[in-house]
């Protein structure tokens, strides 16, 4: 099995859905992990972010570039 490492922290569920869709379209292996814990009613999400993306270390730069491109599109009017 391929080793995955934490690549970037996501701020919210919409951001997670967008990056998941973009990475899937590009064929980049990844996992989206949420920090939500029902026992603490999402407490960690307010402190640490919504969750994070895990992927093979060799995909890190490509994923960050895609994320920055998506973030730029969100801020454009």
What's the pLDDT at 9? 93
The Cα-based distances of 43 to 17, 35, 74 in angstroms read 21, 9, 26
Given a cut of 60, whether residue 14 has pLDDT beyond it is yes
Q: Residue 73 pLDDT > 80, yes or no?
A: no
pTM check: above 0.85: no
- Residue 6: count other Cβ atoms within 10 Å of its Cβ: 12
What would the pLDDT profile of 40-52 be if each residue is shown by its tens digit? Answer: 555 555 666 789 9
For residue 8, list its beta bridge partners: 53
- Mean pLDDT of the chain, nearest integer: 85
Q: Do residues 54 and 20 make contact, with C-beta atoms less than 8 angstroms apart?
A: no
Angle between helices 60-75 and 13-26 (to 10 degrees): 130
Beta bridge partners of 32: 53
């Amino acid at each position: 099995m391929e080793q995955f490492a934490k690549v970037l922290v996501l701020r919210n569920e919409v951001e997670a859905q967008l990056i998941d869709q973009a990475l899937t379209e590009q064929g980049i292996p990844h996992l989206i992990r949420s920090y939500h814990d029902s026992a603490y009613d999402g407490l960690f999400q307010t402190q640490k972010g919504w969750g994070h993306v895990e992927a093979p270390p060799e995909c890190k730069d490509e994923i960050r570039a895609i994320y920055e491109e998506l973030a730029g599109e969100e801020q454009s009017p």
